[in-house]
Structure 1
Amino acid sequence: MEEAKQEYTTIPDEEKKESAPFGLKDKIGYLFGDLGNDFFFMLVSAFLMVYYTDIFHISAALVGMLFLVARLWDAVADFAWGRFIDTRKPTAQGKFRPWILRMSFPLVLTGVLMFVQLPGMSDGFYLAWAFVTYIVWGTLYSTVNIPYGSMASVMTDNPVERTALSTWRTMGAMLAALIINVLGPLVVFVDNEIQADRMLMVAVLFGILALSCYFACYKLTTERLVASKSNHYKGNMKVTMKGLLKNKPLIWILIASLIFMVNTMLISAVNIYLFKDYFSNTSALSMIGLVQTAAVFIAIPLVKPLVKKFGKKEIAAIGMALAAVVYVILYFLKDISAIQFVAISAVGMFGFAFFNLVIWAFVTDVIDYHEYVTGLREDATVYSIYSMARKIGQAIAGGVGGFAVSAVGYDAARAAQTEEALNGIHSLATIVPAIIYGGIFLILIFLYPLNKQKTNQLAVDLAEKRKEQI
């Protein structure tokens, strides 16, 4: 597979930029990009819902509707921005990097505004403020994340180094998770109640850190691959759509990613209420964030040898099965402590860490398959389709999370939640994730077609097709 990818001919050697060889500097820069993204993405995922319900006093159902509407709009914005990027000619600084720098400033500013509480305003004002700032922030997030995700394809044409970029990107996300999930609850909660002034302070701090990370990503990375003028994108939407519909690996990995995002966002939203109300121990939120990050870092050195021996699809499926079993067990263990819950869930986190670590390699495979079907190398468009699926997953999770928390009887105005509401929150945090992980396992095993053997054959077939086009 590696040899086939290295024969990629649509970007001739004479058209590559004169620059330093790809190396550690690029990997660190790419890590900073996702670290910057996730400073706010994870902050929003972890705390925005409870901020809206407990500070703005917006009902959980309305918050769910906001998340649903915003994420569906973001899905459209992702695809539109991906098509826009694919039609732009590269500049002296590259095709993707300039957009990361340009759009990071309005993105961070809007992110901070989401956590501003203007005193003395009506409930209607806070509702409107939440809708406007959140939707604008999500739209601006697309303008940074789509070029960032697409940039990996032009930093190097070496498939081994592209896999390394995926790992470094995941490390950036995990570092953000470590900082936000471990330190965040200790700062923003006082006596198990979220504090508006502390939340704003954290948002400003993370905004400054995010800008620093985006600037580091811009300065440390280099776009080395530039298509020849004859290969500049023509914008043939009809050919693109036909190729996407024929791309069964893309369709099934999109569905799996969508379901996975539903689970990730749902757990992130519900865990706040689980530890705040069910366990009465928000400090344990820091521990679960630490454990999840540790599980990923433990899995990182195991991914490459296991994938090399068994394949990406196979390893990801086994991880999903393990996670499903663990969360079924947690569902039946209703009387354990918060610490015991965290300890048992660590095994499940280790399982789904493998899916997280190989997902970007799946995306590379489906981009290759798209090229094989259409003859077009549309990295930004295909990546935006994948990102769009994740946003739809977020929309469903945000909507379902808000509606579900409300449906089980959660009431922010109550000093203590009812027994029915507490049991409902526990079920949302355990059996629902178990079902979702089980569904992803079935998709990977029975529906996603690119196992290890077929992936290797795709590389050979694509290499032959490229030779014929020379």
Structure 2
Amino acid sequence: MDQPLTVLNEGTPISDGKKVRQFGIRDKFGYLFGDLGNDFFFTFTSTFLLVFYTDIFHIHPATVGVLFLIARLWDAVADVTWGRFIDTRKSTNHGKFKPWILRMSFPLVLTGILMFVKIPGMSNGFYLAWAFVTYILWGTLYSTVNIPYGSMASVITDDPVKRTTLSTWRSMGGMLAALIINVIVPLVVFVDNKMDENRIFMVALVFGILAMTCYIACYKLSTERVTGLVTEKQKLNLGSTMKGLIKNKPLISFLVVSLIFMVSTLLSSAVTTYLYKDYFGDTKLLSLGGLIGMISIFLAMPLAKPLVARFGKKEIAASGLAVAAGISLLLYFLRDLSAIQFVLISAISAFSLGFFTILIWAFVTDVIDYHEYLTNIREDATVYSIYSMARKIGQAISGGIGGFAIGAVGYNAELMEQSQIALDKIYSLATLIPAIIYFVMFLILVFLYPLNKKRTIQLTTDLAERRQLRK
């Protein structure tokens, strides 16, 4: 038999006599805290770990690129393995996904702190080995927390409007972490334009405490309402799952978009640090740029829901990508801008790109629903892990390219000042490459992703009818 699905509607009695709590502000804050906890380290490492490895451990950028490439490719395998494992577990009284967030969060946070430890007096070979072991272990443990967290959105509610709200609140959590990291951290960790090893460790320690607090809040505040019984057939029928995934055109096209987006995001995060540190010669501008960029995205948040209600997720996200591509291309040609002018024009791109960033998690719940539509099986963690795998491959590409590109343009951490040729190439990496990537994403979303507003509404209706028949 197919996996029976149960939607625990608000007010429905459950086994202990209590009623299912109504979806509301607790769920929104709970889901926000989850990504806030994730990004205290994810954004932190994406922005500063490359500089830490090159300037503190004195590892060559190309070698760091190899490390990032290996780690992310391994993480992609870990994501799918863990997602499949969770989908074959029975739900507990506290839900199917929440318990794993709580169980695995402490080892994840501890490993994240260890990444930024430098033991004095050790050899270069030791520091290289330390970087490989701690970073790969951290990435593996990140999968054990992030896969259940990301999967949980589709079981907190089956209402598409409420899911869009969850996506917005998740994005808000990520933006809050990015705001703290991009605005405050550069002011703390850099001394005389150089990273300080003691300060970066103290920041990692503080973020570890904050991340653990956020994971506990996510566990306490969120409620899973859509539950399914796990059968032996579901545990063994991997072939049926793979057939459904291959036929899932929305998933395939969105996987490609997400992979490309991760390349752009993480490459920009890595390169932007060098852009302000070396090209503009002032790391304090990292804080200003981060602050204005985050404000731009926050301004887009209240506009996302009404615009999506009127035009649709696909339509709004694609429009934002088109504008962001145009602004980035303009910056590439405007080489004589002051740092402040560069920051202000970049804010327009951040505002436009923000609509895609805000809606990305709502897209994921749609492709999970479409998998259920194709297979009549609810496999939230498996589908989400496939999506996460694409992001990890994007991280592998961007991490490798970031390290290789910084090394290829002639960057040398031992020099007091970089050559003008290297500086000009760093500027190109920060502007032209994102412009190209955003335009490619726009084309894929417009011409290959099939779930426009009309088809998404029909999908929700069809699934509701099928679930009613299965009761």
Give the SS at the match of 1:11: strand
Report the counterpart of residue 313 of structure 1 in structure 2.
Answer: 314
Give how far 1:91 is off: 1.8
Say yes or no: does 1:331 pair with 2:326: no
> Match for residue 220 of structure 2?
219
Q: CA–CA distance in 1 between the matches of 2:454 and 2:227?
A: 31
Q: Counterpart of 2:448 in structure 1: which amino acid?
A: L
Write the letter of the residue equivalent to 1:417. Answer: Q
Alpha-carbon deviation of 1:12? 5.3
Listed one character per residue, the Cα deviations across residues 258-317 of structure 1 (whole Å, up to 9, x for unaligned) are 101100000000001000000001111011111221111111111111111111111111
Q: How far off its partner does 1:229 sit?
A: 6.3
Distance 2:464 2:159 in 1: 14
Contact residue 16 and residue 225 of structure 1 kept, 8 A: no
Residue 80 of structure 1, CA deviation: 0.6
Please, which moves more after superposition, 393-402 or 448-457? 448-457
- Aligned counterparts, 1:359-398, within 5 A: 359-398=360-399
Tell me: CA distance 1:149–1:232, structure 2 relative to 1, closer, same or farther (3 Å). farther
In structure 1, the residue matched to 2:243 is 242
Contact 2:118–2:197 under 8 Å retained in 1: yes
* Alpha carbons 2:88, 2:230 under 8 Å: kept: no
Find the counterpart in structure 2 of residue 210 from structure 1: 211
Q: Deviations over 1:8-29 (max 9, x none)?
A: 9720557856332222112111
Instruction: Verify the 8 A CA contact 1:270 1:429 in the aligned structure 2.
Output: yes
Secondary structure of 1:376's counterpart equals coil
In the alignment, structure 2 segments of 5+ residues that lack a partner are none
Supply the RMSD in Å over aligned alpha carbons. Answer: 1.7
3-state SS, counterpart of residue 187 of structure 1: helix
Q: How does 1:8-19 map to 2 (within 5 A)?
A: 10-11=5-6, 13=8, 18-19=19-20
Specify the code of the residue in structure 2 equivalent to 1:415: M
| Amino acid paired to 1:255 | V
More moved, 22-31 vs 167-176: 22-31
Three-state SS of the structure 1 residue aligned to 2:89 is coil
Report matched runs for 1:178-197 at 5 Å. 178-197=179-198
Give me the whole-angstrom Cα distance separating, in 2, the residues matched to 1:469 and 1:216: 34
Which shows bigger deviation, 197-206 or 356-365? 356-365
Is the 2:57–2:128 contact (alpha carbons within 8 Å) kept by the matching residues of 1?
Answer: yes
Letter in 1 for 2:6: I
Alignment of 1:154-173 (within 5 A): 154-173=155-174
Q: Secondary structure at the match of 2:184?
A: helix
Separation (CA, whole Å) in 1 of partners of 2:147 and 2:14: 22
Report if the CA contact (8 A) 1:33-1:172 is conserved. yes
Letter in 1 for 2:371: H
Q: CA-to-partner distance for each residue in 1:101-151, whole Å, 9 max, x for gaps?
A: 111111111101100011111111111000000000000000011111111
In structure 1, the residue matched to 2:81 is 80
Matches of 2:263 and 2:227, distance apart in 1: 36
Contact in 1 for aligned 2:152/2:224 (Cα 8 Å): yes
In the TM superposition, what are the counterparts of 1:297-308 in structure 2 within 5 Å?
A: 297-308=298-309
Superimposed CA distance per residue, residues 324-360 of structure 1 (whole angstroms, 9 cap, x where no aligned partner): 1101111111121111111000000011101011111
Deviates most, 330-339 or 190-199: 330-339
Letter in 1 for 2:256: I
Corresponding residue of 1:42: 43
Counterpart in the other structure of 1:3: none
Of 53-62 and 293-302, the range deviating more from structure 2: 293-302
- Deviates most, 151-160 or 87-96: 151-160
**Shift of residue 435 of structure 1?**
0.3
Equivalent-residue separation in structure 2 for 1:12 and 1:346 (angstroms): 42
Deviation (angstroms), 1:100: 0.9
1:234 Cα deviation after fit? 3.1
SS in 2 for 1:177: helix
**TM-score, normalised on structure 2?**
0.95
Residue in 2 aligned with 1:292?
293
Displacement after TM superposition at 1:231 (Å): 9.6
Distance 1:388 1:319 in 2: 25
How does the TM-score come out when normalised to structure 1?
A: 0.95
Q: Across the two proteins, how many residue pairs are aligned to each other?
A: 463
2:96 corresponds to 1:101:
no
**Aligned 1:31-180 pairs, distance under 5 A:** 31-180=32-181
Distance 1:274 1:228 in 2: 52
Are the equivalent residues in 2 in contact too, given 1:16–1:224 (CA < 8 A)? no
- Verify the 8 A CA contact 2:318 2:446 in the aligned structure 1: yes
- Secondary structure, in 3 states, of the residue corresponding to 1:352? helix
Q: Distance in 2 between matches of 1:52 and 1:23?
A: 43
**Where does residue 442 of structure 2 map in the other structure?**
441
| SS of residue in 1 equivalent to 2:116 | coil
- Partner SS for 1:226: strand
CA distance in 1, matches of 2:173, 2:233: 32
Structure 1: stretches of 5+ with no match in the other structure: 1-7
Do the aligned partners of 2:189 and 2:200 also contact (CA within 8 Å) in 1? Answer: yes
AA matched with 2:81: A
Return the alpha-carbon distance in structure 2 between the equivalents of residues 15 and 264 of structure 1: 44
Partners of 1:455 and 1:422 lie apart in 2 by 46
Q: Deviations over 1:3-51 (max 9, x none)?
A: xxxxx97205578563322221121111111111100111101100000
